[in-house]
Amino acid sequence: MIFGWLKRRRRERLQAAPFPESWNAILHDNVIHERQLTAEQRARLRRLISVFVAQKNWEGCGGLILTDEIRVTIAAQACLLVVGMSSDIFFDHVFSILVYPHGYIAPNVQVGRAGIVIDGRQPRLGEAWYRGPVILSWSDALAGGRMETPGHNLVLHEFAHQLDMLNGRLVDGTPRLEDNAQLRRWARVMEPEFKRLVEDCRYGRPGFIDCYGATNEAEFFAVLTEAFFEQPVLLQRHHRELYDLLQGYYRLDPAEWTLHAQP
């Protein structure tokens, strides 16, 4: 109880402190979405960033020297996911952020048929672990913040997985929802859309949604999250029910954003 009180007090102090002007410049240069928010949302985003940067364990890997630019650019994109929600989410279950300069090689362990464990190594851009680290490629995190390839955002993708994990260890594409009615609606919309994507990709009929989302329900949610924030008008046009569902969850309407809203 005392630890929780101290943690809340520290967060209150962090959020009340002035936001560094140098951090404002980083947001302007590296996080295009920040310009699209309302003044109230931008202020809240800064409060969330202040806590996120201070209370995570940041580690540079592969020779990368961490800077405020790296921390703030990543934190802003992660916090964008929760800036519209009714209560503050600080990703408390994420203890560390590990950042590589570029993509990296990681061990790959899979359980194959008959319980055989297959060990190998494969290139990766990022990973999200339950009650563990989020691992990111800095070059890809920066490219995502600058929207160099709309629809592909590494930080949004990996932290969508972390939202998925708020229910517990199970990562099934269903984040923590408010009530049973919302849960039923989620299943009614998501399940047939996922099955349709799997079938379309299997038979060479790719559409607007990236076929990586057909991997499983967890990747479907993460890929949809990228599309919702990065290509909202197209998602709304091609998959209106999915867009409306995510709008209700994130409590944001990116289709109404304009890049010139905040120069």
Ordered domains of the chain (ranges, CATH): 2-256 (3.40.390.10)
Which DSSP letter does residue 37 get?
S
Choose the weakest-confidence range: 2-11, 95-104, 163-172, 184-193.
2-11
- Letter for the amino acid at 103? G
Round the average pLDDT of the chain to a whole number and report it: 87
Among all chains, which residue has been given the structure tokens 């990368």?
A: 64
Confidence of residue 178 (pLDDT cuts 50, 70, 90): confident
Q: Is beta strand 133-137 parallel, antiparallel or unpaired with respect to 96-100?
A: parallel
DSSP state letters, 198-246: HHHHHTT---SS-GGGGS-HHHHHHHHHHHHHHSHHHHHHH-HHHHHHH
**Distance separating alpha carbons of residues 123 and 107, to the nearest angstrom:** 9
**What is d(CA 44, CA 34) in angstroms, rounded to the nearest whole number?**
11
| Distance from the first to the final alpha carbon of the chain | 44
pLDDT tens-place string over residues 82-139 = 999 988 888 988 999 999 998 655 655 443 333 333 334 455 666 776 677 899 999 9
Determine the Cα–Cα distance for residues 205 and 208; give it in Å rounded to an integer: 10
Q: Which residue has the tokens 């995510």?
A: 246
